[in-house]
Amino acid sequence: MTSVLRAQGLGKRYGKRWALRECTIDIPAGHVVGLVGPNGAGKTTLLKLATGQLQPTAGGITVLGAPPGGTPAQLARVGFVAQDTPVYAGLTVADHLRAGARLNPRWDAAMASERVAELGLAPAHRAGKLSGGERAQLALTLGLAKRPELLILDEPVASLDPLARREFLQGLMEATVAHEFSVVLSSHLVSDLERICDYLIVLVDSRVRVAGEVDWLLATHHRLTGPRRDPERLPADQHVVSARHTDRQSTFVVRTDAPIHDPSWVVTQLSMEDLVLAYMDKRPAAERRTALEVQR
Ligand SMILES: Nc1ncnc2c1ncn2[C@@H]1O[C@H](COP(=O)(O)OP(=O)(O)OP(=O)(O)O)[C@@H](O)[C@H]1O
């Protein structure tokens, strides 16, 4: 299967500090990928490496089978909507579409004009006078009309109200259905990612903690609640992702491919948010038994 993004031992260091390290992932085409992690985890760094705006300090990365941003042809295959909905305040909506047409060989002028009309954005309106939601929609329109094979969006909805967020994500989903491209989208809003993503990457402290198809991740992770127990006493095939204890009770999030038969546990399924929070658990590794990195 074609990979949209493949990284092998990828790392980026600023001075002495690693912003991203030992990142090895292989994302198949056709997914809407959610990239999530706390502030400073390295999400923007990974996205900038994927678009060729940064060069790796270690390891390698290919996007759609080629080095990112290496040639004009490669640039045309990847769309990027940067953080803070990047539009030019002094230019009108129509100016943006004209610039898009000049700069992008595969520009879909009909789609751009239709989308702008549907959104009710007046062509003569200056981008600086648009609301945050309208600016985000204009930036998305530019990204979509480029007709990329991969569209990368860095926290596109962070500053939008819930309704504008919903409309933005709805527009993105409709476009992926109509034009069949892959998406990588970073966000802190796991509930949004839950609605649209079928592949998840969790980055914590510059490292990929987990990556894989959401259905597979949810099928192989469970919450176990029961009498207090030392994680060392769990079966070897139950990898502890997070652990919480009270005097009498333990709650573990574990990853396992095998069914859980121990009757002393109450086993519950996780939501995507539970899964993300478990991997973001910052308790000392000693309490977790295994420093997990899961990929598929
Ligand atoms: N140009 C830079 N110079 C020095 N350090 C940087 C630079 N850009 C990023 N960093 C550092 O690299 C780390 C990762 O930053 P990055 O922006 O990739 O994180 P992020 O996960 O996107 O964070 P956020 O969710 O806050 O946007 C942070 O510690 C950040 O301070």
Domain assignments of the chain as residue spans, ordered by start: 3-205, 219-295
| Whole-number Å distance between alpha carbons of 170 and 167 | 5
Q: Which of the listed residues 16, 43, 185 should we mutate to test ligand 1's pocket, taking the one with most ligand atoms within 8 A of CB?
A: 43
Q: What is the pLDDT along the chain (296 residues), one digit of tens a residue?
A: 689 999 999 999 999 999 999 999 999 999 999 999 999 999 999 999 999 999 999 999 999 999 998 788 888 899 999 887 678 889 999 999 999 999 998 999 999 999 999 889 999 999 999 988 888 889 999 999 999 999 999 998 887 888 888 888 998 999 998 888 999 999 988 988 998 999 999 999 999 999 999 999 999 999 999 999 998 889 989 999 999 999 999 999 999 999 898 899 999 999 999 999 999 986 654 454 444 455 55
- Atom number, ligand 1, closest to the C-alpha of residue 20: 14
Q: Has domain 3-205 been given CATH number 3.40.50.2020?
A: no
What gap in Å lies between CA 126 and CA 128, rounded to an integer? 5
What Cα–Cα distance (Å) separates residue 290 from each residue in 60, 67, 222, 228, 294?
Answer: 27, 34, 16, 18, 11
Collect all residues with Cβ–Cβ distance below 8 Å to 170 and sequence separation of at least 6. none
User: Which atom of ligand 1 is least distant from the CA of 15?
Assistant: 4
Pocket test for ligand 1, best of 12, 36, 45 (most atoms within 8 A of CB): 45
Taking CB atoms and a 6 Å cutoff, what residues make up the pocket around ligand 1?
14, 19, 37, 39-45
CB 156 within 8 A of CB 81: yes
Dihedral of alpha carbons 66, 210, 29, 82, sign: negative
ipTM of the complex: 0.97
